[in-house]
Structure 1
């Protein structure tokens, strides 16, 4: 795992006069991670608005995996960088991936998370 990720809650809504939301609470930072795109861009219509998403598989070491509960508002994984000496995709840095499910299996040293990237809100 050569990526570094931050596991965090949903952003708090902006409070006037700020226009940007406040970052959600960090559950874990600088967590080694592996991020793989699972699907291409998908489009759907939600409440008369076109929405584009892309699905990712994010793998974290079990020893660094915080106790998470998946809800409609998070948690999120943000790719923050790469381990020294490893060049990863620069377009992934800063991407907020919403955790939609936590996969469990017999490999007890890592945990797989299914995540969605909202291309409509965050660009592609």
Structure 2
């Protein structure tokens, strides 16, 4: 409660007002794709792909100092986590987790493992994994 009657501690529209400031720090372009499961259609159309672009936007990429790894099926793996903030406005519903959507930016592919939500948001924070063992050069 505000100490002054009739005033709010956080005014209405505060987060929306500051979103352009957060967006101005996003200097990378990114494409968010959804990988579809299941068999391809038959007959296979010429332009068929198992990934679908669901959103193109700007973002910022910041490595989190969390590293994982181990051995999966006799193959050593190295994973790094990244924070990838994107603009809140116009963002479609995204998937996170083991079958999460994939962010393509700065020449890398990052799988979304967590989507951060809050009541006063300037940006949507995506926690992503970069599996450095399985990256293929384009």
TM-score (ref. length: structure 1):
0.71
SS of 1:38's partner is strand
CA root-mean-square deviation:
2.7
Deviation at 1:50, TM superposition (A): 1.3
Given the alignment, which residue of 94, 104, 127 partners 1:114? 127
Give the aligned partner of residue 118 of structure 2. Answer: 105
- Structure 1 or 2, whichever has the larger Rg, is 2
Structure 1 gaps, min length 5: 16-21, 80-91
Q: Which has the higher strand share?
A: 1
> 3-state SS of the aligned residue for 2:65?
coil
- For these two proteins, the number of residue pairs brought into alignment is 105
- Is the alpha carbon distance of 1:123 and 1:69 closer, same or farther for their aligned partners in structure 2, counting shifts above 3 Å? closer
Matching residue within 35, 40, 51 for 1:24: 51
Give the aligned partner of residue 88 of structure 2: 62
1:46 aligns with 2:45: no
**Equivalent pair of 2:95/2:112 in contact (CA under 8 Å):** no
Alpha-carbon distance, 1:119 to partner:
0.5
**Alpha-carbon separation, structure 1, partners of 2:36 and 2:135:** 14
Give the TM-score of the pair, scaled to structure 2: 0.64
SS in 1 for 2:51: coil
